Structure 1
């Protein structure tokens, strides 16, 4: 903790049809998914891109794209326009540039491997690369490094400036371009062929493409070393958006990170490989929710936080971040036709973010108002694309009689039920012989952890966190690093690099085998309790960022570097901060109703600090009132850290909604009994933040429409 605050879809029906944007003449898309690479080794093959592109094609058609205007280049996908070769991709880009006109909308989506190659300094594009490297996307027919007198290149690679030229041609026609790149570019690679199949990275090292070390050394020696110092300094690798149409560009990872593909949704028995970035974007698109690109970026980052993804922070840029996504600004309703069989069901499930216990209103006709619902239902047996429904009494309505349901009835999603179990993977594969950590872990599984709901899994499954045991230590490993086997690396240098990255990206518990099993069990219980609280806080944030409740709290921030430079901070960026920097936080209630505001800080070691209110002060901001404070940045903890604001519309004569109790301090103990308090405060306690949640008090509540949250991300480096 240590931060010091100083005062101062399935078939989404009917009501999605009006989402056709009023201004766009034509909506076109080029969707590229490369899963198979015939020229590369087996361990470099992917599974997720073909799932990504099929799902996106279906969603775009639901959102108003005509099938004739969607070009899908993929392998292993029925109905694809062709294979994702270099020639086909360039032809698709050229066709878009030729067809586009003022007011058109163009979506570019690239899913597959990325890498780098030395930039050709004899070309204008090469001289512009500050790190001396071109980012490249790998089409299906990617070749090997081709050495030449002037340097060389990877055969058939799609180089960043080639995509950038095509994008500029489209934008110069007056079209709007949204580019989404779900692949890696510059990054170290800790995963190997023997690692878990649950997670793969969409990156291939230049060495694996045959780029000689001396060529990379020349590029490094010739570079202007800017990457890794600040994400703001890193240029967009693929797009410039210089034309009159404008554009927005989403990247799955920063230039020093890895973009994973995972079997998703996490924990679902029928999960499939998807790119994490594309999967999260498509959840938002499938919901039909109206949002700007900036809000979508914030949604993605909050979702990553809810999944405990601490090793990758996507990048968002462009000239039109405040434009509506897909140019669509009508308010949709997410609903599905009700199957009136013996077991009522709808054709939507986990891929549409429906969870066990999600609440639906049953309307007699798809255009009926929600308040005219004839009954209510909750979801159960949620599969990837289907859910069974159980009719329930709600809002004064009795349990619906199936015989009274008309043929045109639809189930309209009202609220997704919160899922607050912490999925913990136990991995003892690296702890050979009589593993000293095994017995304490088994004992903890039997006894449980007060105040935390744990679902225990075994490697190679992936979870929210993994307990990885070695003979001399125990580590808590986030999802992106689970299944990594450094011991399997053949070269000593690779093993050392792998171990270093595993240590830096994980939390090594302060325990040694000589301390005994009881000490480890207690240490693990305390640590997992903290992980559960921090993870569930982000899960609530990921739910509430979709809603517009909680009044109008405006949050603005500035970074004041230790050199005195002032830089703006925003929720869709993840800057790098260093010890000695300061962050100035300003809160403004722009609404007409009082707000109860809490500001929390989540550090890289799962600590939670309450920054506001501070020292017992009131946290109620009256209409138009403001408050500012500073945060001193230190490097007691390093890695991805988050600032979270919670705003609740105050009730007349009601108690203040103060969430300072969420701070993870060994001195402050959580209440063990439920008292009279605001319903939304109770909902946060129910999310696994108090011991009583394991004592039969019923299903957890979900915060209501009076509550909103915002999440800001940054990385602390030494």
Structure 2
């Protein structure tokens, strides 16, 4: 079966029609900083001025009006200079102009840096803050660790929150180093430029003490306050690298005599947009497909460098450039690698795949035409899956991009509900959690409609019942259908969490620790490893619980922490539903990444905590474990290029206390 992506844009156009009738506008702010006028020329870049022009051209082709694209860049005719104050002024104008239904792109190309900022409200695991360097940046003065001429991560977060508060859809693109944490919040000084003059490669990333200091630190321009916790349903972001990485600029496309220096991410985005992707996920996958030959060349030229892993987050299954919360797809899509007649996917049982499951194999040609074929999985491991290339796709050329998506949730983790009638409509579940009505066999839950109105759910699965307190197992009436839906959704997620814990039980991850702590005011009363067979005593009156996570593995981690209270309610801990993602920062023994999470509901009888972690190797497919915030606005992280490296290590712990009474010692 073959289908053009252009045909799928019909739905996008229908959704955009309603916004257009209300006067919705697509706007963009493009910022490119090539010259740092207060810094040595050796730290300057070449490509940002080219990047903003390339992005502007790509947006015009997608229907943006020239008058609605603001460019701040040095070396660009007609553009204002990208000083810090002008950047903030342009952001303020965007917020003032924006109305419900609008679409805004925030694009930044240039240097980034990281520094310790003791006044920052949100402390990241490595204790550092990220800054985009404006044209007039100066180094830190004294010990206050504040850059003059830098746009802070907390400022970006505030501006994005202000736009989201107006029901504006925001797409952010950061073609910088230290980019991944740019909206939330390099030890070795590295040369900026390397290679021969006619094919120079420049790396975006400056250690803060490489910056020349100014006479005084000017106050940072004001950013909006009070909007940083806005839900991010209308949000997508592309990042050129993880927070500890640098990203290159070089002449692109390669072997083109007319090529100009471009940021690698910017060039890939502009090229991928020409393939007419229908969703943000398709766009990002098309971006990734352009990376391998460039990365392979750079790896040969600079073997000691850790090359960048592009990252995307947000509601990736929404239609491109539309302000709508109706996803075109809710199923995960995993990149696949072809070797001969076999396809390999860096996802497996831990991601919600199982033997015998029906999947659809997608093959995308260079012209954007997608061919697909149905298949069933035969060989599924914990973190990897292999299958034969479907016969109808076997003759496709090597330039095809392969991917795989499940056609249904895995049968083994579906919550089986015995009920006299069909399940309530409007159930919202994250893959692979699912609910199925059953009439035969052993159900997990029985649903009874009460004579006087309301509903009752009785948990009959021994595994689920062991997790819940007596009240949560059944008996208490549920007043209305919304309450029934929430309860069923929570039980379905609990069944998947149990499956995850069983799959990864006893797994170890070198350099990762998760320690449960009991605090009495400011004093640590006692602590114990989350994986310990003997849990610490539950908190007494006046005590509280916390989880201290520490990463010294030398790698970034995919981390998920979910709590289950005594009533069976789910509590996302990491990632939370306020914009965090599941990427936990890299740490080393001499510079650990650590974070403490408060758990006020943990300790009562029946409460549990699930901790799952796995290494995030460069250019790996996502490892989200099918777990995250329970609402419909996923801040999902998709990372890097598919790579056939197998990840054997995984950490799993599920500490808790008996359902009928707290443990005491």
Return the TM-score normalized by structure 1: 0.43
Could you say which structure has the higher helix fraction?
1
